[in-house]
Amino acid sequence: MAKTVPFRVVKLKPFVTDATFDGDNENGFLEERIGHSLVVATKDGRLVMFGGRRSDDNRPLTQIIGLDLSRVAAGKSGRYIHLNVAPPKDFSDTEIQIGGQLARHSFHSHVTNHFGQSLYIQGGYATPSDQQLPFWDQHFYRLRLDTLELTNMSSDGPTRQSDPRRRGHTSIKYLDNLYIIGGWGPQADWWRTDIERYSIESDSWTTLRCHSTEGSTPNVAYHTTSLLPDSHRVILFGGYIDESPIFKDRISKADLYPKAATSFEVVPLSNNSKVDLLNESPSAIAKGKWGEAGETVFCGNASWLLNLDTLKWTRKVTIGNIPPPRANHSATMIAKDLLAICGGDCGSHIYNDCHILDTALWMWTKIDCSPSMKAITGHAAVSIHGLLVLLGGRTSVDGPPEMACLSAPISEIITVYKHQKSRTKLQSLLG
């Protein structure tokens, strides 16, 4: 019986050898990227990857790329092609310009989702190639996958009740609606606790005000949200958290920030400290340093459940090997009740682990995937062709700028999970 998940590196090759389509650069490979999005866009399981930026120099990547991973399960390479996308009919210099003809803007920290033959793109950072600083984008776009026509839905579309600018948010497709959840707004310390719902049928936006059994809703960005199969419930995990309502006037800095030699520390919070509002029991947050400026960030490891019918948040108490606090991770449903959390970071600390949440028991199990699992963050993930695929992101190891693609058979992940689940149950029973 396998006891380790065998992640393998997948090579991505162009569909054709024509220079127009053979890669992001003269070497002919796809460049590594973060902040991109990935969706299953066709019935035969082809993928569309959109946007992103280089993690080392923040250079914008403007391509929309089609991916075919149907041969990966047989041990072969994946294939890709650049999609030339026509600009919006109401094109102007202040709006998105993408595709082979007008590649000047890229998006990252945005969200995408698809309905039928249409891919919807919302918010994020837009980075003009001729400017140093990115700007918050407020537009809402639709990309027709059959005609590759891009439409700016914001121009003549319905008025939105909330400011549409946000990044680090997530999107969920439920029935004929698109839900935009969490993230940051453009003003300082503006954590988006509101949820926006877009109706495909009526072409209308509604701002939703949710309530919670805990008295407050999650203030998070760069988290993950996953819709439970055949359900109206959404799982939210992790992300950068708003520390102000947790820490302010509740606990001294001497207690909160013990001296440590590293830039990464896990801070346990006792149950009687009254500061564990957004954290599990045992509660934990993580403090890390982010970027060259060494900006302090706080990550959480709370699991929240949102009922889309009642708009009610519930913080779930989970057991087992709860993942350390993180953001920029991936969350993928690999079975009806199993959610896989892979990678992520807290500042400069990048994870190379994988945890499975059994949503029937609300129990976490850490599965062994070393040494094949790389430390990775800012990637995208998808369950397709019987595989869990991790695409893009950055790693803690310096290397060539080729985009990483890792895959592992879901059947083998579940086999390892079941083997380790029994030990997790025993550890939980023994306290």
Q: Please write the tens of the pLDDT for every residue from 338-348.
A: 999 999 988 77
b/e code 136-156 from CB counts within 10 Å (16+ = b): bbebbbbbebeeeebbbbbee
How confident is the model over 234-261, as pLDDT tens digits?
999 999 887 654 443 333 232 333 332 2
| Pairwise CA distance, residues 306 & 275, whole Å | 22
Task: Let me know if 44 is exposed, middle or buried by CB neighbors in 10 A (0-12, 13-18, 19+).
Answer: exposed
Alpha-carbon radius of gyration of the chain:
21
Residue 420 has pLDDT above 70, yes or no: yes
409 residue type, one letter: P
Quickly list DSSP for 118-161.
Answer: EEEEE--EE--TT-SS-EE---EEEEETTTTEEEETTTSSPPPS
Could you tell me the pLDDT band of residue 396, with boundaries at 50, 70 and 90? Answer: low
Residue 74, SS3?
Answer: helix
Q: Among candidates 364, 368, 346, 256, which has minimal Cα distance to 303? A: 364
Q: Which uninterrupted H or E stretch holds 297?
A: strand 295-300
CA distances in angstroms from 373 to 52, 110, 323, 402, listed in the order given = 22, 26, 16, 17
Instruction: Report how far apart, in Å, the C-alpha atoms of 166 and of each of 183, 185, 222, 367 are.
Output: 6, 5, 11, 34
Instruction: Name the more confident of 182 and 22.
Output: 182
**pLDDT > 90: percent of the chain:** 24
Cis omega (within 30 of 0) on the bond before 282? yes
Q: What spatial distance separates the first Cα and last Cα of the chain, rounded to whole Å?
A: 28
3-state secondary structure of 418: helix
Query: Each residue of 277-301: pLDDT tens digit?
Result: 333 334 566 666 665 556 677 888 8
3-state secondary structure labels for all residues of 253-272: HHHHCCCCCCCCEEEEECCC
> What is the pLDDT at residue 360?
93
Task: Tell me the per-residue pLDDT of 69-103, one tens digit each, with 9 for 90 and over.
Answer: 989 989 899 888 877 766 555 443 333 333 322 23
d(CA 378, CA 240): 13
pLDDT digits (tens, 9 = 90+) for 190-212: 788 889 999 988 889 999 988 88
Highest mean pLDDT among 52-66, 141-155, 167-181, 208-222: 167-181
How many angstroms separate the CA atoms of 156 and 248, rounded? Answer: 44
Q: What is the pLDDT of residue 338?
A: 97
- What mean pLDDT comes out for the span 177-181? 92
* Secondary structure (DSSP) of 23-52: -SSTT-SPBP-BS-EEEE-STT--EEEE--
4-13, 81-90, 306-315, 417-426 — which is least confidently predicted? 81-90
Structure confidence at residue 270 (pLDDT) = 37
pLDDT digits (tens, 9 = 90+) for 7-19: 998 988 887 544 3
Distance (Å, whole) CA 197 – CA 304: 19
Contacts of residue 251, Cβ cutoff 8 Å, sequence gap at least 6: 273, 275
Taking residues 366-393, what's their average pLDDT? 89
Return d(Cα 328, Cα 377) in angstroms, integer. Answer: 6
Q: Average pLDDT in the 106-121 region? A: 67
User: Whole-angstrom Cα distance, residue 222 to residue 326?
Assistant: 9
More confident residue, 325 or 280: 325
| Residues present in the chain in total | 431
pLDDT band, residue 155 (cuts 50/70/90): low
